[in-house]
Structure 1
Amino acid sequence: MSTNPLLKGSLQTIILKLLEDNDQMYGYEITQKVKEVSEGGIMLTEGALYPALHKLEADGFLETFTQVVDNRVRKYYRLTEQGGKEVTSKLDEAQSFIDQLQTLLNLKPATK
């Protein structure tokens, strides 16, 4: 994963939003899409991605299925109905945090 510690708290939101936009994806495809959209600024490692995927699945937000593609088995992830609702909640939460952070970082020192 990128060395940016801010990313860790956003990873589940990123995954959920990608799956909302793409219906179903497999792990490597998720890492490549993040790399592409961020223009190489965010690089997910397997060590960061798969624990997040497994947690989302355990929480009931994702379901999995496998398909054979070019004689290789791929494990795909897609949102459950509950996961679809969680995307909205996570995006609202992220936007609220971004707005608050932006307000804090744009404070001007008081003049005397």
Structure 2
Amino acid sequence: MSSETPYDLPNGERIPVIDPDTAAHNLRLLLDRFRTGRLEPLFFGDNGAPEGVVLPFAAWQQLEALAEDAAQTEHSRAVARERLAGASPDEYVPVDDLAAELGWNLDSDDHPPKSTDTPR
């Protein structure tokens, strides 16, 4: 792929960024690369700054799962902060009771269950 401009990420890594026209022209080539196991993403944008990325579908699925886990964790933290902010010590809940309320088995569960319900 041509028309690459190097772009330095905050962590010091350098990525190649191509212009949108070159990206569009090379999508078939990129798909062929993904199919042969070359899974490097394609970064594109105007003026050498990354604005978009094309990546393998499996990588996107992993990112979606991580985002869902992060959202669930943040929800749990928000619930905990809310409870702690307004609770007096006599309202504290033992961890075993909380786990039961959330449907967690502390002896075997590695991850909390996926739920959209707010506990309590």
TM-score, normalised to structure 2, is 0.33
Between structure 1 and structure 2, the one with the greater Rg is 2
TM-score, normalised to structure 1, is 0.35
Where relative contact order (Cα < 8 A, 6+ residues apart) is larger, the structure is 1
**Structure richer in helix, relative to its length:** 1
